[in-house]
Amino acid sequence: MQPIINKALKENIRQNLRTDALKSTVDTHFNNALQTLNTTAPIDKAVIASEVKAFLESLSNMSAEVISQQLCGKPNSRTSEIVSAIDKTISNTVEKAITENNKLHNQSLDQLHDASCPLSDAQKNYLQEVGKQRPLNLELIQRSVNIAATLKLEVAGTGITDEQQLEVFKQVCELPDPQAALPKALILKRTESMLDAANPNSTISQIALKNGVSGPVIQTISRAMLEHVKADNRSTAPGICREMEINLTAKIDAVLGQHVIALKAVNSSSIFSDEQKKKLDEISKNTPLNTVQIEHYEKLTKALKGINSTEGKSQASESQQPTIINTLESALNAIQENARPQWMAFSVGVSDIGAHALIQQLVFVAVAGLSKNEANTALEKLGSSLVIEPSLEVVSPTANAVWRPAIGKILQQSLRNQSQNSAELTATDFTSLTLVSAAQAPSQQLSSMLTRQDEIDVRGVTKKATTSSPVSADFRAGVVFSNMRAEILNHINRDGLENGLSATMNKDIVRSRFSINGELINAALVNGESDTPELKTTIKTSFNSKLKISGASPETMKAISFCMNQNGINRFNEACTVQAMNGSLATESFNIEHEAWQQADNSWLVRSSYSFKPAVINRDGVNIFTEGDGIGLYSLTYRITPQAGDGAQITLEGYTAAYDF
């Protein structure tokens, strides 16, 4: 009969290990224990459940005789007796866990209230508030003491306030390795305060006032420098915060000083036309200038003017076209290289998106120096030669060489606009991701790529493009998505805050398409209206009001904003592109869109999409794709679920990677 007992017993244990059954069992014994135990301390039921689960799992590896001997004191107990003994042991385990929890919690509170505790009153108050939500333990108290001691050393001689220290303390004290995280958290907190363009007493505001600089350009400098500090891993050495303060102050002073000098150079330039000076003035309101940029704007202007001095189309194509392309490429490299030591790289195209915008801006200003007739002459002489031939790819093998075909197409379109006296673009067109392209991807084509998965192979390539697509045969976007899921979530959650919302979203809201429940909230910008502080405020107000009307809490709104920006989709886009193309990709045009929809359960789905028209794919120095009308698409879908109280949880639900080329 023993095998039957074994079978019945093991089935009972297996059923109890099911998640729902385990929860029910723990809840029952937990509630029973609370009726007999006197406790006011918060209790972590997950810890109790793990102990019960470990006990049941240990039984699943034993024979019935061994279980019977251990729990009942004899090897041949009836199955019902063993089950009853198991239940009694679970009850004892729960009671013991609660008793131990109470003991540790009360010991922790006693240590916290002890006169010898070196924590500040604010730090103690915070830990007491934590203790109302979850049980305290001596390890957390000691860890907090160590953090407070390190904080005291790190902030010596710096401008970090007590309030900022407390914020950092709260941020790191419950992390697995708080001492490792503390220097970076402290630096970011101090950097954010020094770069707070909205605070007239911040370092950047004071230096801007000294230099006579005002307006959105200060915010641009602030964001670029903050991104640099976030990406800098040199943050573990003692005293690094004081060093950062000194360096950041010097960088702000240098960038703002250069901006003023560059504006004077523009006004006194004999090379720029009045129209170019006007456009550089427009750009300077949002983007810091420097003498390196002005030098290359002038070089490019001279190169374009030189086209008109050549005789005949053939001569212009042969002599000027490589010079112009090389001048543009050199400008891109020089401006980016100059920006890195100034901590301004994030403002001048460290990504595919940023480089594209910078090229557009360079061409935009240079072509503005041509009259309608000069632009027409340049277009006639250069013609289709602006679509780069392979023989010209040896002009200068630089890091940005992959952009040559895109540069040619951008220049050709800009000359055509100038020669036709078409409606003038504004400087916003070259900082706006939705306006840089004259030709956006056809919506029908995008819709097909999003919905007709049967028409897409395992790589994400459409059937019509399968035979000639440059996408690697072994590429699988799902693998990239799985490997990057946690990284993307961590990355978007590290974003800074601006007026309670994502700092990056506040930046992107004037350069991407934003929709809430199907309604475009920045239609004015998308339709070409100039970017002004007033319009930005209007758009942000619309974002807030539409979410508030739907009942979204402040934390849910913040979580939605963390998803509705370029941070996550850029990471996914860059990782997929490298693996799919086995090289680098330059785009002719692109479009970014963020959409949020409220669900029946009050959760929100957010989709960030990046669609693009490829210009060239460079693999090991060889261009393998230089023309065509295909498009590509990447998207990420997040779910934001409101939590008890005012919390919100972000999960990454799905992705799209599709290539119609």
pLDDT averages per 10-residue partition of the chain, 661 residues: 60 82 87 84 86 89 87 87 90 92 91 90 91 88 90 81 88 82 84 90 95 88 85 62 87 96 95 91 87 93 78 52 77 88 78 63 86 83 53 38 63 76 35 26 42 63 72 83 84 83 84 81 59 72 79 87 91 86 76 84 86 76 62 88 80 84 79
232 is a domain residue: no
Domain boundary among 69, 93, 110: 110
The sign one gets for the Cα dihedral 481, 485, 491, 497 is positive
The answer as to whether 128 is a domain residue is no
Query: In this predicted structure, what is the pLDDT of residue 388?
Result: 44
Long-range contacts (CB closer than 8 Å, 24 or more residues apart) made by 210-214: 211/256, 211/257, 211/259, 211/260, 212/260, 213/256, 213/259, 213/260
> Cα angle at 506 between 502 and 509, to 5 degrees?
125
pLDDT of residue 349: 58
| 493 and 636 co-located in one domain | yes
Q: Are residues 507 and 385 in the same domain?
A: no
Residue 244's identity, in one-letter code, is M
- Do 3 and 57 lie in one domain? The reply is yes
- End-to-end CA distance of the chain, in Å? 69
Q: Residue 399's closest CA among 349, 445, 433? A: 349
**Where in the sequence is the domain holding 540, given as residue range(s)?**
439-660
In the structure encoding, which two tokens stand for residue 110, read together? Answer: 């006693």
CA distance 174 to 172: 6
Same domain, 492 and 370: no
Q: Is residue 154 part of a domain?
A: no
pLDDT of residue 17: 82
> Is 239 contained in some domain?
no
Per-residue CA distances from 288 to 192, 483, 597 (Å):
19, 37, 37
Amino acid 299 reads K
Instruction: Tell me if 649 is assigned to some domain.
Output: yes
Alpha carbons 292 and 441: distance in angstroms, whole number: 35
Three-state DSSP class for residue 621: coil
Residues 401, 451, single domain; the answer is: no
- Given this model, what pLDDT does residue 405 score? 61
In a domain, 160, yes or no: no
459 plus 602 within the same structural domain: yes
- What's the CA gap between 253 and 342, in Å, rounded? 10
CB 91 within 8 A of CB 32: yes
Residue 167 domain-assigned (yes or no): no
pLDDT at position 357 is 66
Say whether both 43 and 103 belong to one domain: yes
Q: Is residue 133, in this structure, part of any structural domain at all?
A: no
What is the DSSP secondary structure assignment for residue 574, as one 8-state letter? H
Looking at the fold, whether 548 and 482 belong to one and the same domain comes out as: yes
Among 110, 127, 159, the domain-final residue is 110
Q: Do residue 641 and residue 520 come from a single domain?
A: yes
Same-domain check for residues 498 and 396: no
pLDDT at 404: 60
Residue at which a domain ends, from 390, 419, 448: 419
Amino acid identity of residue 415, one-letter, is L
Q: Are residues 633 and 506 part of one domain?
A: yes
Cα separation, 539 vs 495, in Å, equals: 20
* Structural domains counted in the chain: 3
Residues 501 and 642 occupy one common structural domain: yes
